[in-house]
Amino acid sequence: MLSALAAGIGLLRRTIRGPFTWQVGLLWASWLISLVLAIASVRESSRS
């Protein structure tokens, strides 16, 4: 979970520094998917 948040911070810095291109959009989509998977994994492990 922490690594997903850390990656988001780096991605936010990159977005602020440069133009928003389709590659950056794909990076945001990838980050969002990884964040959702990390949250789902934590929730699943807390149920067990």
Question: Residue 5 has what pLDDT?
Answer: 86
pTM: 0.80
Which one has a higher pLDDT value, 2 or 15?
Answer: 15
Residue whose tokens read 């936010």: 12
DSSP string covering 14-43, please?
HHHHS---HHHHHHHHHHHHHHHHHHHHHH
pLDDT digits (tens, 9 = 90+) for 4-47: 889 999 999 999 999 999 999 999 999 999 999 999 999 998 88
Distance CA 34, CA 38 (A): 6
**pLDDT score recorded for residue 10:** 92
Q: What is the pLDDT of residue 15?
A: 93
Residue 12, pLDDT score:
94
